[in-house]
């Protein structure tokens, strides 16, 4: 992985329902440049070995890896404490689902609906007391790997399928 990519300043808002949004500034009226569905997050790890940057985290989803960096250890530790809850909860929910599912096959039920686009229901654009606001940075995405996410994310190994 190249370590010469530039980091771009972004402002993040984490909502209780698991939506992590980021924008160019902290104004509630600014449209988000992207979102991360933390309910799909499989892990949140220290990203310094991958990025060479102190105070950085990697948010891992099945589709992509997101790299964020804080201005201090305290800030990134605060983010880590809040974000790590999601993969832990997601893993516990997966274990519960496996225990509930019967071993024998059954008639197929209704299909699970996949949401395209942001996957986030319309919400009030102004953050309320149920969200956490911190100022962070997100590394820039290579131009050829731009997908439905904003062009400010660090790509994982390969581009997403169209």
150 or 90, which is more confident? 90
Summarize pLDDT for 15-32 with one digit per residue, the tens. 999 999 999 999 989 999
pTM for the full predicted model = 0.60
* Residue 152 scores a pLDDT above 70: no
- Cα within 13 Å of Cα(152), Cβ side: 21
51 or 139, which is more confident? 51
Tell me what pLDDT residue 4 has.
Answer: 54
Question: What are the boundaries of each domain within the chain?
Answer: 7-99+128-143
* Residue 47 scores a pLDDT above 60: yes
Tell me what pLDDT residue 42 has.
Answer: 96
Summarize pLDDT for 72-121 with one digit per residue, the tens. 999 999 999 999 999 988 888 887 777 766 554 444 444 433 333 333 33
C-alpha–C-alpha distance, residues 14 and 139, integer Å? 18
Q: With respect to CATH, is domain 7-99+128-143 assigned 2.30.29.30?
A: yes
Tell me what pLDDT residue 102 has.
Answer: 56
**Residue position matching structure tokens 């309910």:** 39
DSSP 56-90: EEEEE-SS-EEEEE-SSHHHHHHHHHHHTHHHHHH
């Amino acid at each position: 992985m190249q370590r010469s990519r530039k980091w771009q300043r972004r402002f993040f808002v984490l909502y209780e329902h698991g939506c992590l949004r980021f924008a160019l500034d902290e104004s509630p009226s600014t449209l988000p440049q992207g979102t991360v569905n933390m309910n799909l997050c499989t892990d949140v790890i220290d990203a310094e070995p991958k990025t060479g940057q102190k105070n950085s985290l990697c948010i891992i989803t099945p589709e992509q890896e997101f790299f964020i960096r804080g201005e201090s250890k305290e800030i990134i530790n605060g983010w880590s404490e809040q974000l790590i809850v999601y993969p832990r909860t997601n893993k516990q929910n997966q274990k519960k689902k496996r225990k509930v599912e019967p071993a024998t096959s059954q008639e197929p039920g209704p299909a699970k609906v996949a949401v395209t686009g942001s996957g986030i229901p319309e919400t009030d654009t102004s953050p309320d007391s149920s969200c956490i606001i911190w100022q962070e940075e997100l590394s820039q995405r290579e131009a050829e790997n731009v997908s439905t996410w904003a062009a400010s994310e660090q790509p994982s190994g390969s581009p997403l399928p169209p």
